[in-house]
Structure 1
Amino acid sequence: MGLPANSFEGVFDFKLDAKGRVSVPAEWRPGKGEALPLRLLKWRTLEVPVLKALTGEAFSSMIQSIDGSDLSAGIKSQRKGLLYSRNTQVTINDQGKVLIPRKLVEEHGLEPGGSVHLFGRGSNFDIVSPRDHETMLKAEEALLDDLYASVDFS
């Protein structure tokens, strides 16, 4: 399996402006005059609350993973319904900014003028509040020993 069409990589610290917009790294931005549609999903990564920003491709993969599971039709329908109800459509505009709706800003503990931490996850990225930033760093650090033991670069 190769890299996704849009590969979000790295960890970055930015500020949320007064209108609730956050800039993304230059390498994540669409081409000049283009926009990249995303879905912001209220989620938990490593048990840490995040706003998960998914491309359409990544969101479709989540839906397909539910469809391909051994769950009953009713449970599949419920889970897909949750994904649809918990997401908000946004875009990375041609200036490289994402407008986070005010309600999500407030619910997620973000503040205009305050820090926002972006964690690239390949086909998606996590928007982490200052309140949860340290917890996310510790959760990732706890996984490193397993990663080192499982990946062989020789």
Structure 2
Amino acid sequence: MDPKNRVSIHPDFRPAPGEKVFLLSAETYEMPVLRVLNTAEYDRRVAIVRNSDKSEKDKTRILGKFASLCHEASINDQGKLLINRDLVDEIAIEPEGTIWLVGRQSYFEIWSEKNYVSLRKIEKGQDDDDLGILD
């Protein structure tokens, strides 16, 4: 991360030029993480709520909360994503510190170095590879 809170995004993680992304502050294993959703992933999550059997009141509340947690952003032509200072603080990234981008199929995550190291230890310790894809 540079001093202006910009992160260089690997080309494989970038959406189509001009497409916006949504920054969702979340937690994984009780550690803060920033999820970067493209428009399709954001819309997929909205559709899950809209197509649920919840009441209209609950749908409105859930969608409102989701929208309020997502910060609209974009990745510029140089592949840089500007992250709001409040979000940087929330996910415990050190100014000019090392960050990790972690692909999660339909979105990617931005982790502080300290929390990424902890994430790797937790995920390595899990014995859930009965399909043999992690060998």
Structure 1 consecutive aligned stretches of length 4 or more whose deviation exceeds 6 Å: none
> Which of 1 and 2 has higher RCO (CA within 8 Å, sep 6+)?
1
Q: CA separation of 1:139/1:77 partners in 2, compared to 1, >3 Å: closer, same or farther?
A: farther
Give a deviation string over 1:1-25, Cα, whole Å, max 9, x none. xxxxxxxxxxxxxxx1000000011
The alignment status of 1:108 with 2:91, answered yes or no, reads yes
Match for residue 128 of structure 1 among 111, 120, 130? 111
Q: Distance in 1 between matches of 2:75 and 2:39?
A: 13
Deviates further, 44-53 or 120-129: 44-53
Deviates further, 54-63 or 72-81: 72-81
Q: Distance in 2 between matches of 1:128 and 1:139?
A: 14
Match in the other structure for 1:57? 40
Unaligned runs of 5+ in 2: none
Match in the other structure for 1:7? none
Give a deviation string over 1:87-107, Cα, whole Å, max 9, x none. 111111111110001111122
Q: Distance in 2 between matches of 1:142 and 1:76?
A: 37
CA RMSD of aligned residues (A): 2.0
Unaligned runs of 5+ in 1: 1-15
Name the % identity: 35
Match in the other structure for 2:101? 118
Offset at residue 47 of structure 1 (A): 4.0
Give the paired residue count.
133
Q: Distance in 2 between matches of 1:43 and 1:23?
A: 21
Q: Distance in 2 between matches of 1:150 and 1:47?
A: 27
The alignment status of 1:29 with 2:29, answered yes or no, reads no
2:53 partner amino acid: D
